[in-house]
Amino acid sequence: MGIEEAKRIIMDHFAGAARRFGFNELYGYIYGVLFLAREPMSLGEIAEATGYSLSHVSTALKFMERIGLVVRIKKPGDKRAYYKATKLLKDWRQAAYYNKIMEDIQQTRANLERALRELEGEESEEAELIRESIRFAIHRNDLAERILRFLIEHEDEEVLERLMDCLEAPEKR
């Protein structure tokens, strides 16, 4: 029972991660099955392991392949396609989490700039206070965008190394 329970925990974890990132939980179950597989699996094997229909699994695999979560493999003498997980969890973040945050950052900037334009010509004390608040928010939004771009453009190891350097350097605090 220990092995099956461990597999269930892993699959449930990836299904939950898929939901948190705005994906269908099927993507997580498929990823979990392939993550645990020793060898690439066929569409039928994946459908059987997840309990989903061939058509649902096929559609999900096409999307997952497009964003780099799975790789399709052809075996010599076999017409079927086989799949394996890329094991790059960074791709989950970039494909979903980081992109959603970037969209929010860009939308926030557009709305802040639009609000600032609305204040053009307004000379009251209230208008100036609002302008200051908006400029502060734009500055913070720009910082968030710079940080997110750094996370997207650099490998996890480099990001961790730079963060550790910052945390360990007391004079930079």
| Tens-place pLDDT, residues 142-157 | 999 999 888 878 877 8
What does the mean pLDDT of the chain come to? Answer: 88
| Tens-place pLDDT, residues 63-111 | 888 877 889 999 889 889 999 998 666 666 666 677 778 888 999 999 9
Q: What is the DSSP code string of 26-85?
A: HHHHHHHHHHH-SS-EEHHHHHHHHT--HHHHHHHHHHHHHTTSEEEEE-TT--SEEEEE
CA distance 85 to 96: 17
Confidence of residue 134 (pLDDT cuts 50, 70, 90): very high
Task: Tell me the sheet residues that pair with 83.
Answer: 41, 72
- The pLDDT score that the predictor gives to residue 39 is 93
- The pLDDT score that the predictor gives to residue 1 is 63
Question: What CATH number is given for 2-87 in this structure?
Answer: 1.10.10.10
- The pLDDT score that the predictor gives to residue 66 is 83
Domain map (residue ranges) of the chain? 2-87, 90-172
- The pLDDT score that the predictor gives to residue 93 is 61
| Tens-place pLDDT, residues 36-61 | 999 999 999 999 999 999 999 999 99
